[in-house]
Structure 1
Amino acid sequence: MLYENALASAADLDGFRLEGDGAVSFPLGRLRLESKPQDDPEKDPNVVLWCPEDFGPNIAVEWDFWPIREPGLCILFFHAKGREGEDLFDLAPRTGAYEQYHHGDLDAYHVSYFRRRWPTERALHTCNLRKSYGFHLVAQGPDPLPAVLDAQGPYSLRLSIQDGEITFAIDGLVSFSWRDEQPLGGGKLGFRQMAPMIGDYANLRVSRL
């Protein structure tokens, strides 16, 4: 085990970085992430919460998830680092706008799950894996998570990366597996939400593979 964080109180977010106009709270003893209401319709209301740790290329990331309010969309960024190898926190400030993460000054993978932002996403639930720089959709699989109305939780999410093989599973059900022949070499991970999504998170664990 490389890292464990219960995400149960504000003290557990020491060193974390929130990008975008969002709010964190712990009403049920677990991290609740949400965007603040916006008066300006042109302003991007989406948020990213970064863990301060850097991790190597071969890891498993596990966390517990509860969908609280939809529509919206949830993403986990991982192996995020500057395009020249810089620490993510040393790059230019970001504000949560999606383009800054897939066509900005960083490289990363991201897996999007609980994709319920647009009608097409709500009609057919999938999990997507993208690689950046760029907006390259490299893998896709089914999302078994129910709508908020029927959700109980917690749902156990697990992402593993080993020698370029990336596998994502929800409650032990594998959604997709894909091999990158030119894998990224590690970096930071972060939780992203598209407003008006509200999600709860707990028990973040990262282990070496």
Structure 2
Amino acid sequence: MLQLLCVGKRAACSMAGNTSTDADNRFMQTANLSGKRDNMRNGFIITILVLLSGSFSCQKNNDVSRNDISGKIIYQDNFLNLDNWHFEGLVERVTNPEPGIMRLDCSGSQQGKIGCMSFCKLDFPDNISIEYDMYVEAKNGLVITFLGMKGINGEDAIIGVPNRTGVFADYISKNATTRSYHVSVSRYNDKAEHTGVSNWRRNPGIHLMGQGPDPCKEINKWYHVNIIKKGHVCELYVDGEFVSGFTDPQRIEDEIPTSGKIGFRTIGSHAVARISNFKVSSLN
């Protein structure tokens, strides 16, 4: 076991291990992973299982920059309707309450169980910038963004794989039929207690890739979220500030997530989020 303390509010964490032991609330029991997390005043303790040759660093990757955004918009959705989105899990809870808004309402569930899922039907290339505005109405749960989601054998992540029920294991367990990266924000448990961190993970296997502060703790407030994906490097910016990221050490015996679907998940006893101004641009 390796235990490390990362201090600071703007640390990007990348890991050279292969499996996370950071408890992801109820689901982690299902995934047969064990571990502990202890929040501290100026930082957080991460307990992880790593390979003997593993290493851990907290830094921004200088090879990736928001300045790499070319300005070429690949796709933009102002949510006048939801025709370009595919729903799973609590499908009736993904709504278009007004022009410009996609609302995901996961109420009455619990973490690890059936969530409210929405995936853009288009496949996106690698080396992209993902932007959207997010407004969290209720925080008994969390919001997850999936990126680079594709079938294990290259299939379309929606129509090329078996139907999913919306249970978290369908997307992240070692037996999941798709590979992806995902990042969690507004990360509260079912009792509306903040978990102290925001996680980057790689699937299948829910491998912890990076961990940092959660910049989206307030409800009833709009945040501008920007995710940069460049091959095995991912970074998260919120309201123009760098938050966290990772460089995948590529020690997992599988291809890294590259091109594919982008999607959202709200999960918890009462987790409600609004997404607006969704845009994907290419990187230089």
TM-score bracket, normalised by the shorter chain, equals 0.7 to 0.9
Residue segments in structure 2 that go unaligned for 5+ positions in a row: 1-72, 251-255
Greater RCO (Cα-Cα under 8 Å, separation 6 or more): 1
Q: 1:123 to 1:108 in 2, by over 3 A?
A: closer
Q: Does 1:48 align with 2:117?
A: yes
Larger radius of gyration: 2
Q: TM-score, normalised by structure 2?
A: 0.65
* Counterpart in the other structure of 1:157: 225
- Superposed CA offset, 1:1-40 (max 9, x none): 1000012x3x2x11411110241233353111113657xx
Q: Distance between the aligned counterparts of 2:120 and 2:241, measured in 1?
A: 26
Q: Distance between the aligned counterparts of 1:57 and 1:175, measured in 2?
A: 21
State the SS of the aligned residue for 2:259: coil
- Superposed CA offset, 1:103-128 (max 9, x none): 2111010001110125696152x211
Q: Distance between the aligned counterparts of 2:193 and 2:260, measured in 1?
A: 29
Q: 1:119 to 1:21 in 2, by over 3 A?
A: closer
Q: Does 1:166 align with 2:240?
A: no
* Counterpart in the other structure of 1:198: 272
Q: Does 1:188 align with 2:241?
A: no
* Counterpart in the other structure of 2:78: 6
Q: 1:105 to 1:160 in 2, by over 3 A?
A: same
* Aligned pairs for 1:97-176 within 5 A: 97-103=167-173, 104-118=176-190, 122=194, 124=196, 126-148=197-219, 151-153=220-222, 155-176=223-244
State the SS of the aligned residue for 2:229: strand
Residue segments in structure 1 that go unaligned for 5+ positions in a row: none
Q: TM-score, normalised by structure 1?
A: 0.87
RMSD: 2.1
* Counterpart in the other structure of 1:83: 152
- Structure with a larger share of its residues in helix: 1
Work out whether residues 189 and 195 of structure 2, in 8 Å CA contact, stay in contact via their aligned partners in 1: no
Q: Distance between the aligned counterparts of 1:197 and 1:208, measured in 2?
A: 31
Q: Does 1:33 align with 2:101?
A: no
- Residue 135 (structure 1) shift: 1.3
Work out whether residues 141 and 192 of structure 2, in 8 Å CA contact, stay in contact via their aligned partners in 1: no
Q: 1:86 to 1:101 in 2, by over 3 A?
A: same
Q: How many residues align?
A: 199
Percent of aligned pairs with the same residue? Answer: 30
Work out whether residues 139 and 186 of structure 2, in 8 Å CA contact, stay in contact via their aligned partners in 1: no
